[in-house]
Each structure stands twice: as C-alpha cells, then as structure tokens.
C-alpha cells in the first residue's frame, strides 16, 4: 500500500490585508490541497438570508487523492470548516463540486465523474446553510456520460431546480428536477434534452441565470484543441412558465437569441449551430465571435439586470502558444470585443493541453471588473502567473490595472469570484501551485498538486490546554481482542485523537468504544460509522484513497483504482451536544447524540497497529485539531 499524504487544513493567524500591505501578497490558503476546472459552476458561492441567521461562503474542490472537499466560512461565528464530501472519487479536476442553495436554505452539493460514468452524485445539508452536516450520498442515473453540472433555482418555478451539463451527444444538456424530499431523493420530470447541435464534437459551455425565468449559455463550436477556427455563441433559455388555476407550474422552455428571437422549442429538438458565412448572416445575434484563424474558448458569462450579457473569453492562435483575453459585450445591436491582455502562453509545463490558459473571471457584482491570471515578472527571476484586477470603462476598454498577487513562487490560476459576495470580505479564490495535468494517471502521476487560495482570511485562535492524556504506542501490534483503556477527563466535552493503521486483509472493525457509543469501520465495504444509543450512523465516505490511479490509469476509461489507507488519524470531538468525527483532519460526520455516557474509552477491536493517542478535556475546533495533528 502506498502511504497517503495527510490532508491537513491550513490555518493562518494573519489577516490578508496585513499580508498584502507587505508588498508580496501571494494569497491566503483556504485549502492545502485542491483544484477545479472552470466549466462546472458555481464552484463556490456566498449566501446570507434576510433574517440574519445565515451568512456563509462555500468553496468546493477536489484533491489529487480523489477526495471531493469543501470549505465553509461562517461569518456569524467566525468558524471555518473543511468537509470531506466524497472520498476516493476519480482524481480529475473536472470533478469539482458545485453548489445550490435550495428554497428551504439547505445546500445541495452535486458532482460527477469526467465523461466515463452515466450518473451524477449529490448530497444535501441536513441543516439550512450548514454543509458540516451532510445527508447521505445520492446517485442520479442517466443514459449518457455526464460532466460539468451547473444547477439553478428560478423563482418562476420554485418547486424545481434546473441542471445544465455536458451530456447528450457531448453537447449542452438541460433537465428539470423535483426538489429533494424528506429522504433527499429527486426525480427528473422534464428532460434531459440536448439544447444545440454543433458542427464540432465537444462544445464547451458556461451558464448563468437571472434567478427568475431565464438561463443564459455561452459555448464554443468545440474543444479548441480540435476545432480550428473555433467560434463562440450565446443563447437564452426562456422558461416560458405558466401557472394553472391550482397554482401548478408547467414549462415549455424555448431557446432564443439575445434579442428574444425564438430558435427552437427545446423539448421538440435541438438547434443546429454552424460556423459558415450563411449561418452568421442568418443568426448574427447568436455569434459572439467568428474568427477566421483563431481558437476561441469561454471563461466566464455574466448577464446584468438589464439583460445585457458580457463574456470573458480567450483567443488562442494556430500553434496554441499565444493566448489573448477579450471582454465581449452585447451593446444592443452587436457583440463588441475589447482586448484585455496578451497572456502569451499556457500556464503549465506539461507537453499537452496548450489551450489551458491562466483564466479570467467577471465580477458579477461589478461586471466592469475582470480578474485575470497573467504571466508576470517578479522576484523569482522568471514569469509566474499572478492574479490581476482589471477595471473597464463604459466602452469595455481597460481603464485601470491592479496586481493582486506579487512575487509568487508558483502560478496563481483559474480565478473565481464568489456569486452574491459583494457584502462579504471573501470575494475571489483561485488555484496556486505547479499544475501538471487535469487528472492523475500513470503518465502524469502528480496531476494537479495545487492549493486553493483567497483574498481574505480571519485569524484562527489557538488557546487549547495541554492534553490530559498523551502516549505514543510506536506502531504497537493490535489484534481484534486487544484493547487499551484510557480514562476520559471530567467535563461536558472531550477530544480524542487516534493514529492507527488497519490490515488490508481484515480492513475494518471497532476502533474505540465509550460507555454507550463506539466508532468503527464496516468490514464489508469500509465505511466508517458511529454507534450511539443503539443507532448506527454510517458515513458516506469509504476508507479508501484513489492513489492507485497514479500507477495504473491511462485516462477516463471508467476504471477504479482504489486502495486502503495505510495511515489513518481519527479525531472525535464532543462538545456536550454535537459529536464530530474527523478523518485525517477533515470533517467526515457530525451527529447529535442523545447523550454520551461513560468516563472511559477502550481503543481496539481491529487488526493493525496503534500509534499516537492524545485526549483533551474539551472540544477542540477544527483549526485546533489540524494544528495538533500537524505535529504528528
């Protein structure tokens, strides 16, 4: 077995503005390991309600071990939490999760594998606005491959949510789903439908909505690697919602151009898209850019309250080595494009994917503001991709430039502005690191070893007392009948940190027991569980890693190279009300037990080894837990 690198959170004790004032701001890490693609959105968002009970940001990503993860920043409590959404998934940055706040304020997190499985997966938070307590993982089967989910709630149809993705025929696809019921189950009740048919094999689409009755889509003819020239298009999905006398909503969405001209009834058939002079003459308002000798790719789409769209896009030359970023906006009569910056080259060093540029993002609260990742000379003696903030004038031309990151050792790429974050201090996030390839496989075993950074963080207090019990059993051999007994300190809460390994041949068993509770791993399928009050609470996340892809996989072929974790650190934190189970520093489960009894724990009941153990007489925060485990 290959030892899995522990996935510690990064908890910094400085303010971003203080770091920026020093002149070499390189970003505040939100997650030590993580990456995302830029076609599944929103990969992060901010939500605060009118009653003032929720004010939080959610940022999702996937690490090179195949763990889908998310950070929640609660601005009411100041607490920052990192959650394990799904373990041992296909290790591919196309699989980053996306978020949707439901009408009851629970948060839906949805994700899928990259091209090689006909299914989506999702989890729904058990409480409004709090993803630290997630329901079980659910699966939505389809009859085609699925990639890049983008979900929407539209107020004209509040009893459903809409999902757009790359699906049928590898083209932009849409469907309507019922809202999660009491068991978190959903159903497709309209669609799925392929919206357009391109002359290219794989159109790439970005979506946004007005939150009421329209979804907007900007998409290319195909992948710029394969399409030359490659055009860029824009369409509107109009919900056409109708209510009957009983208040029931019926929909018949149509595809339109930017002027409201109907192109097709989506359920009746896909709209044929071309890249010929004849098509451009017939449907000029649908074409954002029609270059003769360039490759277009889309980065961000925004539509203002006035219905006027703007697109952040890139033109890539014939050799794929020169990238130029543009801001395209609809003036009411034409698509006008303004050059923002020459990005010069791809941001990574691998001998493939030359169309991968640093990225661009439009600020939805201030659409005249665009964040760019551009190669910039600095203290490293070479050009490193840094994040820049560009401000445009009324004609879409660059009026002001401000460098956000400076003198970075590693590239800062794929910026993203959190939707609805205009009143939040956490506004922009991006990837930083030495990106090699979009997935982990034997040709690119490092994959995407990047972290997620942001422009803000809050100081995390570190004021816990010394452990009441601490020991290092130095890999002591344990058999199912072996136990170590430790007295719990008095008080309402406790924290138990336990380092161990499990034999792969007998992968599971009870790990520790209290008076009326226990924590263990199911031997049948390696799911962790908490047993309390006679009730079994099973985790959705199997105790595996996807590190085997680095030695065996050659691409997106539907393969699965799961391996047991060689080293595991379990942390259980009880604050008198909530019991939280951490797996290698990430929140895996959080439950509300009726009441934990007993002042002694028994470690054992499994085959493997026992390492370090620490017991605290209080409930540590996740930041404190990660700081403790960081020394292990």
The full DSSP string for 591-627 is: E--S----SEEEEESBSEEEEEEEEESS---HHHHHH
What span, in angstroms and rounded, lies between the C-alpha atoms of 114 and 470?
44
Asked whether 419 and 35 are in contact (CB, 8 A), the reply is no
The span from the CA of 132 to the CA of 58, in Å, is 11
How far is the CA of 574 from the CAs of 39, 129, 227, 582, in angstroms? 39, 21, 56, 11
Mean pLDDT computed over 356-385:
95
Alpha helices in 86-177 (DSSP H): none
Tokens (6 digits) for 622: 């996740």
| Bridge partners for 362 per DSSP | 370
Question: What residues have CB less than 8 Å from 296, skipping those under 6 apart?
Answer: 220, 221, 224, 229, 230, 231, 232, 289, 313, 314, 315, 316
Structure-block tokens of residue 628 = 């403790």
Q: d(Cα 433, Cα 411) in Å, to the nearest integer?
A: 6
First CA to last CA across the chain, in angstroms?
20
What does the block give as tokens for 125? 């938070």
Output the pLDDT for position 8: 39
CB 83 within 8 A of CB 130: no
pLDDT value of residue 350 = 81
Range of weakest confidence among 16-30, 531-545, 559-573: 16-30
Interatomic CA distance for residues 398 and 395, integer angstroms: 9
> To 10 degrees, the CA torsion angle through 75, 76, 79, 84?
-80
At residue 69, the pLDDT reads 98
What pLDDT shows up at residue 29? 94
What number is the average pLDDT over the span 461-470?
78
Q: Is 153 helix (H, G, I), strand (E, B) or coil?
A: coil
Q: Which helix (H) or strand (E) holds 630?
A: helix 622-630
CA distance 314 to 325: 4
User: Which residues on adjacent β-strands are paired with residue 93?
Assistant: none
pTM comes to: 0.95
20: enclosing H helix or E strand: helix 16-21
Q: What is the pLDDT of residue 372?
A: 97
Task: Name the percent of the chain lying above pLDDT 70.
Answer: 95
pLDDT (0 to 100) of residue 18: 35
Residue-level pLDDT at 19? 43
Percent of the chain with pLDDT over 90: 87
- Calculate Rg over the CA atoms of the chain: 25
Phi and psi at residue 516, to the nearest 5°: -125, 25
236: helix, coil or strand? strand
Collapsing DSSP to helix, strand or coil, 359 comes out as coil
Question: What's the pLDDT score for residue 23?
Answer: 63
Q: With 80 as the cut, is the pLDDT of residue 541 above it?
A: yes
pLDDT band, residue 305 (cuts 50/70/90): confident
Confidence (pLDDT) at 1: 38
Q: Which residue has the tokens 């599971």?
A: 508
* 63 upstream amide cis, omega within 30 of 0: no
pLDDT tens digits along 306-346: 999 999 999 999 999 999 999 999 999 999 999 999 987 88
Residue 328 near residue 311, CB atoms below 8 Å: yes
Compute the average pLDDT of residues 10-20.
38
| Contact status, residue 29 vs residue 8, Cβ threshold 8 Å | no
Distance CA 24, CA 376 (A): 13
pLDDT at 295: 97
Here the tokens at position 511 are 């790990």
Query: Which residues have a Cβ under 8 Å from the Cβ of 169 and sit 6 or more positions away?
Result: 144, 194, 197
> What average pLDDT does range 151-166 have in this prediction?
96
Is 627 or 289 the better-scoring residue by pLDDT?
A: 289
Q: What is the mean pLDDT of the chain?
A: 93
- Does residue 446 carry a pLDDT above 60? yes
What CA–CA distance (Å, rounded) separates 10 from 403? 24
Q: What pLDDT score was predicted for residue 490?
A: 85
Q: How confident is the model at residue 3 (pLDDT cuts 50, 70, 90)?
A: very low
pLDDT in tens, 525-539: 999 999 998 899 999
* pLDDT given at position 9: 41
Tokens 């990238």, residue located: 323
Q: Average of pLDDT values for 564-589?
A: 96
**Higher confidence at residue 240 or residue 49?**
49
pLDDT for 4 equals 38
Domains of the chain are 469-630 (2.60.120.200)
Q: How far apart are CA 158 and CA 13, in angstroms?
A: 42
The pLDDT-based confidence of 463 (bands split at 50, 70, 90) is low
Does residue 55 register a pLDDT over 70?
yes
Q: How far is CA 185 from the centre of its chain?
A: 22
Q: What is the pLDDT of residue 241?
A: 81
Smallest CA-to-CA distance from 165 within 144, 179, 153, 150 is with: 150
Query: Residue 285 has which token pair?
Result: 């308002």
Is a pLDDT exceeding 60 seen at residue 461?
no
Question: Residue 269 pLDDT > 70, yes or no?
Answer: yes
Q: What are phi and psi of 169, to 5 degrees?
A: 60, 20
CA 15, chain centre distance (Å): 24
Work out the average pLDDT over 615-630.
Answer: 92
């Amino acid at each position: 077995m290959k030892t899995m690198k522990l996935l510690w959170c990064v908890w910094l004790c400085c303010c971003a503005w203080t770091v920026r004032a020093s002149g070499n701001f390189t970003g505040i890490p939100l997650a030590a390991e993580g990456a995302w693609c830029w076609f599944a959105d929103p990969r992060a968002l901010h939500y605060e309600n009118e009653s003032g009970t929720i004010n939080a940001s959610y940022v999702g990503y996937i690490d090179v071990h195949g763990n889908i993860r998310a950070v929640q920043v609660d601005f009411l409590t100041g607490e920052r939490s990192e959650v394990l959404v799904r373990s041992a998934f296909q290790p591919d940055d196309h699989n980053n999760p996306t978020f949707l706040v439901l009408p009851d304020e629970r948060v839906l997190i949805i994700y899928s594998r990259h091209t090689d499985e006909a299914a989506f997966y999702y989890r729904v938070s058990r409480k409004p606005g709090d993803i630290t307590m997630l329901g079980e993982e659910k699966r939505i089967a389809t009859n085609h491959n699925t990639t890049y989910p983008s979900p929407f709630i539209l107020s004209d149809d509040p009893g459903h949510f809409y999902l757009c993705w790359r699906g049928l025929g590898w083209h932009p696809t849409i469907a309507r789903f019922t809202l999660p019921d009491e068991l978190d189950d959903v159903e497709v009740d309209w669609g799925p439908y392929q919206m357009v048919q391109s002359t290219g094999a794989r159109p790439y689409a970005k979506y946004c909505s007005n939150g009421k009755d329209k979804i907007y889509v900007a998409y290319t003819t195909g992948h710029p690697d394969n399409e030359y020239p490659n055009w860029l298009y824009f369409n509107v999905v109009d919900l056409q919602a109708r209510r009957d006398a009983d208040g029931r909503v019926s929909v018949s969405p149509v595809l339109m151009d930017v002027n409201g001209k109907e192109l097709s009834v989506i359920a009746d058939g896909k709209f044929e898209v071309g890249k010929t002079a004849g098509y451009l003459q017939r449907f000029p308002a649908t074409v954002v850019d029609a270059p003769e000798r360039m490759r277009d790719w889309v980065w961000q789409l925004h539509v203002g309250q006035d219905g006027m769209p703007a697109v952040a896009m890139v033109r890539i030359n014939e050799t794929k080595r020169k990238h130029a970023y543009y801001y395209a906006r609809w003036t009411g009569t034409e698509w006008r494009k303004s050059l923002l910056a020459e990005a010069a080259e791809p941001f990574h060093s691998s001998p493939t994917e030359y169309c991968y540029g640093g990225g661009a993002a439009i600020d939805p609260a201030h659409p005249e503001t665009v964040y760019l990742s551009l190669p910039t000379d600095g203290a490293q003696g070479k050009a490193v991709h840094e994040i820049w903030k560009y401000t445009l004038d009324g004609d879409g031309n660059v009026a002001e430039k401000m460098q956000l990151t400076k003198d970075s050792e590693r590239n800062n790429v794929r910026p993203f502005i959190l939707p609805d974050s205009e009143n939040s201090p956490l506004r922009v996030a991006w990837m930083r690191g030495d990106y090699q390839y979009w997935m982990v496989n034997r040709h690119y075993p490092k994959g995407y070893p990047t972290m997620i950074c942001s422009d803000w963080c809050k100081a995390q207090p570190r004021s816990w007392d010394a452990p009441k019990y601490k020991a290092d059993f130095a890999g002591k051999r344990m058999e199912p009948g072996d136990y170590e007994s430790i007295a719990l300190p008095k008080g309402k809460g406790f924290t138990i940190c336990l380092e161990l390994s499990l034999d792969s041949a007998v992968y599971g068993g009870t790990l520790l027991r209290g008076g009326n509770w226990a924590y263990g791993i199911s031997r049948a399928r390696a799911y962790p569980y908490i047993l309390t009050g006679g009730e079994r609470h099973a985790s959705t996340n199997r105790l595996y890693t996807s590190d085997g892809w680095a030695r065996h996989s050659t691409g997106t072929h539907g393969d699965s190279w799961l391996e047991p974790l060689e080293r595991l650190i379990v942390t259980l934190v009880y604050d008198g009300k909530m019991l939280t189970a951490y797996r290698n520093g990430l929140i895996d489960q959080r439950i509300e037990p009726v009441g934990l009894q007993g002042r002694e724990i028994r470690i054992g009941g499994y085959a493997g080894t026992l390492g370090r153990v620490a017991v605290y007489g209080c409930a540590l925060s996740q930041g404190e837990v990660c700081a403790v485990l960081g020394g292990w």
